Structure 1
Amino acid sequence: MPQQVRGVVARSKGAPVELVDIVVPDPGPGEAVVTVAACGVCHTDLTYREGGINDDFPFLLGHEAAGTVEAVGPGVTSVEPGDFVVLNWRAVCGQCRACKRGRPHLCFSTFNASQKMTLTDGTVLSPALGIGAFADKTLVHAGQCTKVDASADPAVVGLLGCGVMAGFGAAVNTGGVTRDDSIAVIGCGGVGAAAVMGARLAGARRIIAIDRDPRKLEWARALGATHTIDATSTDAVEAVKELTNGDGADVVVDAVGRPETWKQAFYARDLAGTVVLVGVPTPDMRLEMPLLDFFSHGGALKSSWYGDCLPERDFPTMVDLYQQGRLPLEKFVSERISLDGVEQAFETMHRGEVLRSVVVW
């Protein structure tokens, strides 16, 4: 039977979120119901509330989550009730042209649950990134459930579901950072800090963190940055070049996603270096640059969608590294809050006081 549980809903643009009763249907073919154990408060959730994604209100927010599979629908074999899982929003189809060419991280037809969760009056909810995990339970496609070590702290490993994976993957998967490389990361919130952490794990020789907030630069240094640049008082491009013998960094990650920061990334890289855009621009942003500058530089200009990850490959490996003490994911959990604290967490995030607030059950 359908279940009535609590969920955090954004009813209209800019309005404070509400904790209300929602209805979760029984899982249909290919679907799973997951009892949520923890869910991070990501900036993307705030963007949904502010109407920055689309206007399909009301939204059921939350997507950086871990929990336990309660029930599965017909045909599901990848997970079963009792499995501890991290939820992902890139359940690949295996059939599109990208998947068939061996590039499933670029899948053009990812899966979400077919059925809809609703308010108690029948109003259909739009789950954030197809997940909607600021709820006691949520309905997802079974491919969005990635089984990991059940002994891991859900408040920590759930963050792999979005921001941490995006930043880590931007450096390691998309940027291809490896031993002896230099990397600069512009913007050191959750995503940028994760890029710093990934570069450290990959063995980068010089890891340069750039931000305008001294607090975020401290977080980046704690996660492995070898140098920090305060962009409020220093020309970031010139500072990166000074730290790289005048050449620029091998990889520059733009974790902000603005024309100004992308230009900084472009000019702060080595001539044959790589620029990775992982910060998400808004639709109105435009970039104007001399075409000759593109022609005269080699290397690569890349965008990183979800850190070019494959959840079933990357999540278990990263959880294992965390369990071994080699990946300090726990440093991203700034505070643990209850489900009724999401609106306050948005305010805390806006003030830049946390890497992540995490709702725990």
Structure 2
Amino acid sequence: MTAIRAAVLRAPGRPPAIEQVELAAPRDSEIVVRIEAAGVCHSDYHYMTGDLTAPLPLVLGHEGAGIVEELGPRASGRIRVGDRVALLWRPRCGVCEACVSGNPVLCELGKVQAATGGLPDGTSRLSLPVDSGGAADGTALHHLMGVSCFAEKVVVNENAAVVVPDGVPPEVAAISACAVITGVGAVLNVVEFAAGRPLLVIGAGGVGLSAVMGAALTGAHPVIVVDVDDRKLELARELGAAIAINGRETDATAAVLAATGGRGVDWAIEAIGRPATLRQALDCTAAGGAVVAVGLGSADTEFAVPLNQLVQRQKRVIGSLYGSSNPPIDLPRIFQLYLAGRLPIDRLLGERLPLDEVAAAYEHLVSGAVGRGILVP
């Protein structure tokens, strides 16, 4: 066992606290990673509030990067000690129907991790000290999405790690493995024939701004962004948006339709996860167009779809998890595009805080912080 410090969530509605945690040695094809940077993602906040549920208590964090310090006894050799890696929050068994059909983000091991709060084998490498006042036996502690990177070190399956090339900073690597691959991936993997066609992004957080970068990369035009924060809209312009609309100050649907000559956009990416903004995206979409939903809401959130828009105007609503990506292939592509200057991912980076200020980082996120916050253990 190795003693580490980590952000532990004991119950919904209570802020996470930095506690002393015990980390077991890696088994089989697992690796130990010393965390260099972890992104402050809204998904963790859903677990903090209880909008999404997971076995508790758990160590938070699913968007991280670090340096490999130890290999399990059956590691493949693909990853070596000293490698810098980005961590993936979707497992990849390689043999289930989703994996072999080219849709590994729906790997069946995702259900195992969600139900058990463990790694892909369903067991945990984390424990609370016996006198910590945790679970009934004083030892049970769970992983979040198989990662739990709001910690000094993690144990993950080697399939949950992608080697980061030289020249990519750890902060960029961390957010690339969640926010960036989700937003850019939604454009590269779901949107079709974007060049020269109008594309709308609703929500200018980390994922929405990543979608803007992806849209600019593919030549969509005009790229239109809707948000309620002028600071985020200004950053969206810097990243490639041609039109930025403050939905608090104007009728965003009318403004989008006016910007497209009344036609609407061919593609709309909703990066918030609210029924009202999903409906807004659909209303902004042209006949034959599509809404790509990438934002998460609470587990019971429902979205009412106007049937006649689907039928008479042949509109579509498409869900996209993790950018509908194949991370071992798509994430290295994203790193190369960053190194080539085609994806200015570093422009997404917001404030940097020590791990001890995890609660403050989420207060800033909820109050509208611009850019992706980074925790540095």
Pairwise TM-score range, normalised by the shorter structure = over 0.9
Opposite residue 275 of structure 2, the aligned amino acid is P
Match of 2:29 in 1: 30
Question: Are positions 1:119 and 2:128 aligned together?
Answer: yes
Decide which moves more: 229-238 or 202-211.
229-238
Shift of 1:177: 5.6
Opposite residue 87 of structure 1, the aligned amino acid is L
Question: Are positions 1:196 and 2:212 aligned together?
Answer: yes
Instruction: Please tell me whether the aligned partners of residues 181 and 334 of structure 2 are also in contact (alpha carbons under 8 angstroms).
Output: no
After superposition, the C-alpha distances for 1:260-286 in whole angstroms (9 at most, x for unaligned) are: 111111121111111100111223323
Instruction: Please tell me whether the aligned partners of residues 7 and 136 of structure 1 are also in contact (alpha carbons under 8 angstroms).
Output: yes
Instruction: Please tell me whether the aligned partners of residues 91 and 105 of structure 2 are also in contact (alpha carbons under 8 angstroms).
Output: no
Instruction: Please tell me whether the aligned partners of residues 9 and 20 of structure 1 are also in contact (alpha carbons under 8 angstroms).
Output: yes
Opposite residue 28 of structure 1, the aligned amino acid is R
Distance 1:33 1:242 in 2: 53
Match of 2:265 in 1: 249
Question: Are positions 1:303 and 2:319 aligned together?
Answer: yes
Match of 1:53 in 2: 52
Q: 1:236 aligns with which of 239, 245, 252?
A: 252
Match of 2:165 in 1: 149
Decide which moves more: 96-105 or 2-11.
96-105
Match of 2:294 in 1: 278
Instruction: Please tell me whether the aligned partners of residues 32 and 70 of structure 1 are also in contact (alpha carbons under 8 angstroms).
Output: yes
Opposite residue 67 of structure 2, the aligned amino acid is T
Distance 1:350 1:102 in 2: 35
Opposite residue 68 of structure 1, the aligned amino acid is I
Distance 1:171 1:108 in 2: 25
Aligned CA distance change for structure 1 residues 287 and 45 (closer, same or farther; 3 Å):
closer
After superposition, the C-alpha distances for 1:179-207 in whole angstroms (9 at most, x for unaligned) are: 21210011111111111111011111210
After superposition, the C-alpha distances for 1:54-111 in whole angstroms (9 at most, x for unaligned) are: 1522120111111111112133213121111000012322211222333334433347
Distance 1:136 1:283 in 2: 30
Distance 2:193 2:215 in 1: 6
Aligned CA distance change for structure 1 residues 55 and 301 (closer, same or farther; 3 Å):
closer
Question: Where do 5+ consecutive residues of structure 2 fail to align?
Answer: 114-118, 131-137
Structure 1 SS opposite 2:298 = coil
Aligned CA distance change for structure 1 residues 292 and 159 (closer, same or farther; 3 Å):
same
Question: Are positions 1:5 and 2:4 aligned together?
Answer: yes
Aligned CA distance change for structure 1 residues 187 and 177 (closer, same or farther; 3 Å):
farther
Instruction: Please tell me whether the aligned partners of residues 89 and 147 of structure 2 are also in contact (alpha carbons under 8 angstroms).
Output: yes
Q: Describe how 1:302-341 pairs up with structure 2 within 5 A.
A: 302-341=318-357
Structure 1 SS opposite 2:302 = coil
Match of 2:17 in 1: 18
After superposition, the C-alpha distances for 1:307-328 in whole angstroms (9 at most, x for unaligned) are: 1111111111111221222211
Structure 2 SS opposite 1:334 = strand
Decide which moves more: 140-149 or 7-16.
7-16
Question: Are positions 1:73 and 2:72 aligned together?
Answer: yes
Structure 1 SS opposite 2:95 = coil
Instruction: Please tell me whether the aligned partners of residues 265 and 286 of structure 2 are also in contact (alpha carbons under 8 angstroms).
Output: yes
Decide which moves more: 278-287 or 318-327.
278-287
After superposition, the C-alpha distances for 1:135-187 in whole angstroms (9 at most, x for unaligned) are: 11001111001112033210122101212221111222122363212100111
Distance 1:201 1:344 in 2: 34
Distance 2:139 2:79 in 1: 30
CA RMSD across the alignment: 1.7
Distance 1:285 1:335 in 2: 31
Shift of 1:299: 4.5
Structure 1 SS opposite 2:276 = helix
Distance 1:287 1:275 in 2: 13
Distance 2:217 2:321 in 1: 21
Distance 2:106 2:155 in 1: 24
Opposite residue 95 of structure 2, the aligned amino acid is Q
Question: Are positions 1:82 and 2:98 aligned together?
Answer: no
Decide which moves more: 76-85 or 31-40.
76-85
Opposite residue 181 of structure 1, the aligned amino acid is R
Decide which moves more: 177-186 or 220-229.
177-186
Question: Are positions 1:346 and 2:346 aligned together?
Answer: no
Distance 1:290 1:272 in 2: 15
Distance 2:22 2:193 in 1: 45
